[in-house]
Amino acid sequence: MAAVLLPILVLIVCAALLSVGMFVVAQLLGPRRVTKVKQMPYESGMDPAHDARRRFDFRFHAVAVAFLVFDVELLFLYPWAVANAVVNRDQQGLARVADAVAVPMWSPGLVFAEMLVFVGLLSVGYVYAWRRGVFRWR
């Protein structure tokens, strides 16, 4: 596994070196003239009234929670999709494996039905969230 993932590390290190290098070179080459006005936050020419980090809309939080709920549930379907194809494509091979580890063989229909139950539950949650106005945005 390490051998498969090693190239990814190589790419990430190279990309990090490149972007940090670009930043450092530009810092060394560029001029540096600090003025009072330049130091201020840009607000289209107005003097800023207060710090920018204040309370913001709750709906951003609601969207984040909804995303977490649905995305984590979505992640379950990826392993299912791969496992489903394996179960369907290689019946004999799977039966051999099931025999060897003494586990009852799952039929493709059952694997498919399990997904349907899961998606059904997901849909109930989705309809509930919609009715509660999580997706309303105005």
What is the binding site for another protein (CB under 8 A)? 3-8, 10-12, 14-16, 18-20, 22-23, 25-27, 29-33, 38-44, 48, 51-53, 56-57, 60, 63-64, 66-67, 70-71, 74, 77-78, 81-82, 84-86, 88-89, 108-109, 112, 115, 119, 123, 126, 130-131, 133-138
Q: Which stretches within the chain are classed as H helix?
A: 2-29, 59-89, 91-100, 108-131
For another protein, the closer of residues 65 and 98 by Cβ is 65
Angle between helices 59-89 and 91-100 in degrees, nearest 10: 90
Least distance to another protein from the beta carbon of 106, Å? 14
Largest CA-CA distance found in the chain, in angstroms, rounded:
77
CA triple 104-106-111, angle to 5 deg: 150
Q: Smaller CB distance to another protein: residue 101 or 138?
A: 138
